[in-house]
């Protein structure tokens, strides 16, 4: 039994009440088993909190596999993904989202932080009884198109609010510094504050993004100017730039954060922002290594995310932890309670404690070291189970 916020112990049991909350945890002999509670036994297995995937694009699950995404240049790759998305129907996005949520459960993931533009993952989580935060994406690099993007965001939020539950939360995501104009960032930040929506942003991911923001140069700047959009150097890092626009605030989830200085990390700490670290995506796109130790030393809440199947092939959080240089209990903490903190959800999930949601995973560790997930539970409901081999 690995409660994560308390020492691990052997021969443990957990009792989940009718509301899906943990009502007791401890040695098997001491945890009550009142009738008519259903009892499941897993000898030789490990019981942990469900894993938290701090960055997904599950509406792109259908684009995984094959070589559709084999494009070494980041800007061209982004364009390729946009074309593939434009060729996808609403129902195909929904099926992709359902498949993505189920794939996560089979891998022990009980909470996701999704950024997407179609609402498909919010529908899937709502319909399937999953857990997650869905940040509705906003795009618009041309300042003149900002008002149209805001109308689209507001109408999406009106619709998606109807799918909110205690397990499924809504947020907003002005996508990235190369797809969102300064006035659009400010408008989204103001709207999010007014609507009480948490924010997620892709930021400080590539060197090309830094060149665009800092100096108004490079492939992103060239591509935007070719569309008639005027670009000015901001003489600031992407982090400082978004801080100035009011986008970074307490709880803003900053995705990637590879191209950051010690001063950027300090800014994030001061404002109370959090980080989603996606090590395999960063290395697939050759963005470089993010300075994990700087963030940890500063005490910035940091969770691990996979990013999309289009970037990393499969959504294996244990492989992400390994790529981040984490192992053992340290990896387990990063994938559970630290991920929950990065999402501001640590009072509800991320550890096995009385009063928290019954989100947990039972797994057996194979000789290869990779776990086999036997059982996944979200709020006391079994969402994935395989019988003993």
The residue ranges that bind Zn ion (CB under 5 A) are 307
Token output for 187 = 């408008």
In our burial notation (b when 16+ CB lie closer than 10 A, e otherwise), range 65-76 reads eeeebeeeebbe
Cβ closer to Zn ion: 114 or 338? Answer: 114
Cβ closer to Zn ion: 135 or 375? Answer: 135
Chain residue at closest Cβ approach to Zn ion: 307
DSSP state of 199: B
Cα(253)–Cα(164) distance, rounded to whole angstroms? 19
Cβ closer to Zn ion: 3 or 177? Answer: 177
Q: Edge-to-edge strands of the sheet including 109-116?
A: 51-56, 109-116, 132-138, 168-174
Token output for 47 = 């019981």
Token output for 1 = 């039994």
**Strand pairing report for 371-378 and 360-365:** antiparallel
Cα(105)–Cα(112) distance, rounded to whole angstroms? 10
Distance in Å, CB of 176 to Zn ion, minimum: 8
Cβ closer to Zn ion: 307 or 348? Answer: 307
Distance in Å, CB of 51 to Zn ion, minimum: 18
Q: Which of 126, 4, 57 is nearest to 378 (CA)?
A: 126
Cβ neighbours, 10 Å, residue 355: 9
Distance in Å, CB of 253 to Zn ion, minimum: 11
Distance in Å, CB of 255 to Zn ion, minimum: 6
Cβ closer to Zn ion: 307 or 346? Answer: 307
Distance in Å, CB of 308 to Zn ion, minimum: 6
């Amino acid at each position: 039994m690995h409660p994560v916020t308390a020492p691990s112990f052997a021969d443990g049991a957990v009792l989940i009440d009718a509301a899906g909350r943990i009502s007791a945890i401890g040695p098997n002999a001491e945890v009550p088993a009142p009738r008519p509670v259903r009892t499941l036994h897993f000898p030789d297995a490990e019981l942990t909190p469900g894993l938290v995937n701090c960055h997904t694009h599950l509406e792109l699950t259908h684009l995984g596999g094959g070589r559709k995404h084999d494009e070494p240049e980041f800007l061209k790759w982004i364009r390729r993904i946009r074309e593939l998305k434009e060729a996808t129907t609403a129902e195909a996005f929904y099926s992709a989202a359902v498949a993505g949520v189920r794939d996560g459960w089979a891998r022990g993931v009980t909470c996701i932080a999704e950024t997407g533009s179609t609402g498909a993952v919010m529908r899937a989580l709502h319909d399937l009884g999953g857990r997650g935060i869905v940040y509705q994406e906003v795009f618009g690099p041309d300042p003149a198109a900002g008002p149209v993007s805001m109308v689209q965001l507001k109408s999406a939020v009106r619709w998606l609010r109807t799918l909110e539950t205690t397990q499924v939360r809504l947020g907003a995501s002005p996508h990235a510094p190369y797809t969102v104009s300064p006035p659009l960032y400010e408008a989204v930040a103001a709207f999010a504050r007014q609507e009480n929506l948490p924010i997620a942003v892709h930021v400080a991911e590539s060197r090309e993004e830094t060149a665009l923001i800092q100096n108004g140069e490079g492939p992103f700047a060239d591509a935007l100017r070719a569309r008639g959009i005027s670009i000015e150097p901001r003489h600031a890092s992407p982090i400082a730039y978004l801080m100035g626009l009011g986008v970074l605030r307490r709880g803003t989830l900053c995705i990637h954060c590879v191209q950051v200085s010690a001063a950027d990390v300090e800014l994030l700490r001061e404002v109370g922002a959090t980080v989603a670290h996606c090590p395999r995506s960063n290395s697939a796109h050759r963005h470089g290594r993010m300075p994990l130790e700087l963030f940890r030393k500063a005490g910035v809440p940091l969770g691990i995310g996979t990013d999309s199947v289009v970037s990393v092939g499969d959504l294996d959080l244990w492989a992400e932890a390994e790529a981040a240089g984490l192992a053992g209990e340290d990896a387990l903490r990063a994938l559970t309670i630290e991920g929950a903190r990065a999402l501001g959800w640590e009072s509800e999930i991320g550890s096995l404690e009385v009063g928290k949601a019954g989100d947990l995973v039972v797994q057996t560790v194979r000789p290869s070291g990779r776990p086999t997930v036997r059982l996944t539970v979200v709020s006391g409901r079994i969402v994935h189970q395989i019988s003993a081999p």
